[in-house]
Amino acid sequence: MLDRLLEDMGLTRKDLRYHFVWKGRRYYIPTFNPLWWIVSVIIVTGLSWILRSVVTIVILLSPRV
């Protein structure tokens, strides 16, 4: 069903891969891989907690007026 929907838009699964170059070689990660989604959610959640911690520390260390 998803392949048919992408085909109607003129896309394929290969068009939605994450491409990158590392040490001169081209690699890709298929975005339909469930492992990709798990890693993405863990990274975004971790970064949001780090940002929240930094903002909390800045607020707590700010001088009181």
DSSP state string for 8-39: HTT--GGGG-EEEEETTEEEEE-TT-HHHHHH
- Average pLDDT of adjacent 10-residue blocks, the chain of 65 residues: 79 79 87 82 96 96 85
Closest CA to 29 of 18, 14, 16, 40: 18
Q: Is 15 helix (H, G, I), strand (E, B) or coil?
A: helix
* Structural tokens at position 4: 């048919």
What is the pTM for the complete model shown? 0.55
Closest CA to 50 of 60, 40, 42: 42
